[in-house]
Amino acid sequence: MVITQHISTPEIMEAWGKQIALHCPNRLHIHLIGELGAGKTTLMRGFITALGHQGIVKSPTYTLVEPYHLPEHQVYHFDLYRLADPEELEFMGIHDYLAETAICVFEWAERGGDVLGIPDLVIELHYQTISSRQLKITAKTPLGMKVIAMLMP
């Protein structure tokens, strides 16, 4: 199951993050794919804010992960842009994060390799013009399919 959308402003990208959040079960794992500036963090800003976070949301580029303890969900927002070797994920205890009842979202998931396992959703963002992006959401598991079914226009 796949959704594709043309996103013409950052606000609409945030709104998609919010929609995904409203249908997001605990334990959902999301891989965010897309070049620098594609809008991964913008989508996450809408997502995390919709789950009750007040304050800024930025890519945890240097720390690799930012935890958010939210009213109804534990969220881990990863950014693997600076990951030199997937082995670093072992050192940070990635298996414990993945095994927790928590939402895990990975920017630059492709740099993490097989250690991350199969995500429920893959979200690909492609740069089109200075202000527009292509959004593609693909479900990889039955849980992901449930979420996507609720997002269908």
Ligand X SMILES: Nc1ncnc2c1ncn2[C@@H]1O[C@H](COP(=O)(O)OP(=O)(O)O)[C@@H](O)[C@H]1O
List for the chain the helix, strand, coil content (%; round to 5): 35, 30, 35
For residue 60, state whether it binds ligand X (rule: CB under 6 A): no
CA atoms within 13 A on the CB side of 6: 5
Measured CA to CA, the distance from residue 115 to residue 9 in angstroms comes to 34
Provide, rounded to whole angstroms, the least separation between the CB of residue 140 and Mg ion.
21
Sheet hosting strand 74-79, strand order edge to edge: 2-7, 132-139, 121-129, 29-33, 103-107, 74-79, 65-69
Task: Give 41 or 139: the residue with its C-beta nearer to Mg ion.
Answer: 41
Smallest gap from residue 117 Cβ to Mg ion (A): 21
CB of 131 to ligand X, least distance (A): 4
Structure tokens at 105: 């979202």
> Phi and psi at residue 17, in whole multiples of 5°?
-60, -40
Instruction: Pick what 52 binds: Mg ion, ligand X, none; C-beta below 5 to 8 Å, kind-dependent.
Output: none
Region binding ligand X by CB under 6 A among candidate stretches 36-44, 82-90, 91-99, 139-147: 36-44
Residue span 26-65 as binding mask against Mg ion, x where in contact by CB under 5 A, dash where not: --------------xx-----------------x------
Q: Which residues bind ligand X (CB under 6 A)?
A: 7-10, 13, 34, 36-42, 59, 107, 131-133
